[in-house]
Amino acid sequence: MDTIISNTTEFVNSNPTLINNVELQSTTIIQYLKSFSNWQIALAFIIIILTWDQISYQMKKGSIVGPKFKWYPIIGPFLESLDPKFEEYKAKWYSGDLSCVSIFHKFVIISSTRDISRKIFQSSKFVKPCVVDVAVKILRPTNWVFLDGKPHIDYRKSLNGLFTKSALAKYLPSQQKVMDKYLEKFIQLSKENNYEPQIFFHEMREILCALSLRAFCGDYITEDQIRKIADDYYLVTAALELVNFPIIIPYTKTWYGKRTADNAMKIFESCAQKSKDYIAAGGEPICVMDAWCKLMHDAKNENDENSRILHRDFSNKEISEAIFTFLFASQDASSSLACWLFQIVADRPDVLQKIREEQLAVRNNDLSTEITIDLIDQMKYTNMVIKETLRYRPPVLMVPYVVKEKFPVTPNYTAPKGSMLIPTLYPALHDPEVYENPDEFIPERWVEGSKASEAKKNWLVFGCGPHVCLGQTYVMITFAALLGKFALYTDFEHKVTPLSEKIKVFATIFPKDDLLMTFKRRDPLTGEVFE
């Protein structure tokens, strides 16, 4: 290196004409630039940026489907993305196996076939889940959900035990109490409104939040704390919208979202300590936190090195952050499922009738029968209704991933590093080759051995691969218990409007008219309805 520098210096010093030439040229360039006005320079700069924006778009787009040019320079379809429309998404999915858009500097690739989507979900070497910038601030950088590769897999192993069937069985009794409470609340609300249909979108979100918090934190969390978190939670959803300002400025959406998340995590931290004390005193787990503390407690006394590593001592802060991610992952998707499930079942009296018959049959007409996992496993038809609702109206339409290194997604297309890659779930779940008349709601298509039930590869409702939904069994069990109870003890009706079947996108998907319903008390054995 030194030799190169000294040789160059020698060469330049021995060539005075060269120095003169360089000086002359720089003076000429400066004089030339000076001959332009500031406006002309600014204009040239803009033209260079715009040209680069288009060239970069074309290079990244390659052979895949997408607008021929970036029609709105720089911003791309940013304004449309502020108010996402289901029909626009759908048009995009069916425009090609891979399609793209470019918004500001972000290049977004959407995959719409089952196989490409599965490949993306399973390629953790090339991709990792993509979160909006502000999510790291709201969920905190130390949160386990931001782990990637082996550290993520190991952390997942320690969490999987909290959502097995045997663990979920322990949370059921406290969830039942929440269901009873909200059943009374829904009937009371309807009575106060003279049984006229009213919006139940907010109530569905509230019951789901309460169910999750009781399952996660047991009785360590108070009714007031649950109500406060349920009331404020929409501020977190709003703060984490795909398009949001990345810096947290006081009194903006993101600031309110962070404040809500911090308050919730503070509550969870104190619950975690109470749970640790309870388990240390020999208590049996009745909630997710207890189950976690029990695993940690037992691991200390086990001779098994692996279990000691998996269930090391997690701090209260770590537990609180993980519990918040469970709430965050569950709240919008579960509320979406609740809205569609009640609407769809209420609109189909024959389906509701079959659910009621099954609910009585599995209880042998004995209403004091305890709801257990075994009993839920016997609710075949109820489970098929839930599964078909998830297929017909999948709460999560797409899962954004970010490309870590150049990713050959197909033999003809390589996704550039840094681009956003979005596998979609909807097209695989509406594939007419697997689900005949995919836009019809047919629970019977899920009978054992049927084409639909055998097509495991199409069942992408909960994703697949290393980040597959941690709560999927929890969802099926909770909703079977919930739907069963409401079908037996209430007579619920839905007011159909022209917007009921239209889809509103708000993180997940909801009926556009916000679900107009009434609930009346019903005798489960005679079917008599009371006002």
For the annotated binding site, the residues are: 469
Q: Which of residues 111-140 bind ligand HEM (CB under 6 A)?
A: 121, 129
Q: Which stretch binds ligand HEM (CB under 6 A): 58-66, 220-228, 358-366, 471-479?
A: 471-479
SS (H, E, C) 341-381: HHHHHHCCHHHHHHHHHHHHHHCCCCCCCCCCHHHHHHCHH
By CB under 6 A, which span of 49-57, 261-269, 326-334, 374-382 interacts with ligand HEM?
A: 326-334
The interface region with ligand HEM, picked from 52-60, 75-83, 256-264, 464-472 by CB under 6 A, is 464-472
Work out whether 264 is an interface residue with ligand HEM (CB under 6 A): no
Dihedral sign of CA atoms 410, 412, 418, 424 in order:
negative
Q: Which amino acid is at 434?
A: V
Establish if 463 lies at the interface with ligand HEM (CB under 6 A). yes
| 325 sits near ligand HEM (criterion: CB under 6 A) | yes
Exactly one of 102, 316, 330, 382 binds ligand HEM (CB under 6 A); which one?
Answer: 330
467 near ligand HEM, rule: CB under 6 A: yes
Helices (H) and strands (E) in the chain, counts: 21, 13
193 to 197, 227, 416: CA distances (angstroms): 8, 22, 56
Query: Is residue 98 near ligand HEM by the rule CB under 6 A?
Result: no
Q: Does 471 bind ligand HEM (CB under 6 A)?
A: yes
Taking CB under 6 A as the binding criterion, the range among 186-194, 340-348, 403-411, 470-478 that sits at the site for ligand HEM is 470-478
Selected binder of ligand HEM within 464, 488, 509, 515 (CB under 6 A): 464
Contacting residue, 468, 499, 525, 529, with ligand HEM by CB under 6 A: 468
Instruction: Give the one residue of 187, 384, 461, 507 binding ligand HEM; rule: CB under 6 A.
Output: 461
**Whose Cβ is closer to ligand HEM: residue 156's or residue 228's?**
156
Rule CB under 6 A: choose which of 175, 334, 389, 458 binds ligand HEM: 334
| DSSP reduced 3-state for 101 | strand
457 in helix, strand or coil?
Answer: helix
Nearer to ligand HEM, 114 or 467 (CB): 467
Binding residues with ligand HEM: total (CB under 6 A): 26
Q: How far apart are the first and last CA of the chain?
A: 92
Which CB, 62 or 465, lies closer to ligand HEM?
465
Nearer to ligand HEM, 427 or 463 (CB): 463
Distance CA 368, CA 33 (A): 89
Answer yes or no whether residue 509 interacts with ligand HEM by CB under 6 A. Answer: no
Q: For residue 493, give the H/E element and its range.
A: strand 490-494
Comparing CB distances to ligand HEM, the nearer of 289 and 464 is: 464
> Who contacts 193 (Cβ-Cβ below 8 Å, separation ≥6)?
518
Closest CA to 328 of 259, 234, 464, 227: 234
Taking CB under 6 A as the rule, does residue 395 contact ligand HEM? Answer: yes
Check binding of 462 to ligand HEM (CB under 6 A). Answer: yes
Query: Cα separation of 342 and 332, whole Å?
Result: 16
Q: Is 440 helix (H, G, I), strand (E, B) or coil?
A: coil
497 DSSP 8-state letter: -
292 binds ligand HEM (CB under 6 A): no
Check if the beta carbon of residue 201 is closer than 8 Å to that of residue 514. yes
Of the candidate residues 324, 326, 392, 459, the single one contacting ligand HEM (CB under 6 A): 326
376 touching ligand HEM, by CB under 6 A: no
Q: Which of residues 149-178 bind ligand HEM (CB under 6 A)?
A: 156
DSSP symbols for 195-228: T--EE-HHHHHHHHHHHHHHHHHGGGS-HHHHHH
- Which sign does the torsion angle of CA 385, 85, 333, 511 carry? negative
Q: Binding site for heme: what residues are annotated? A: 469
**CB of residue 467 to ligand HEM, shortest distance in Å:** 4
Q: Output b/e per residue, 483-505; b: 16+ Cβ within 10 A.
A: bbbbbbbbbbbbbeeeebbebbe
* Candidate ranges 88-96, 179-187, 346-354, 459-467; the one touching ligand HEM (CB under 6 A): 459-467
Q: Does 329 bind ligand HEM (CB under 6 A)?
A: yes
Which residue ranges make up the site for ligand HEM (CB under 6 A)? 121, 129, 145, 156, 325-326, 329-330, 333-334, 337, 395-396, 399, 461-465, 467-471, 474-475
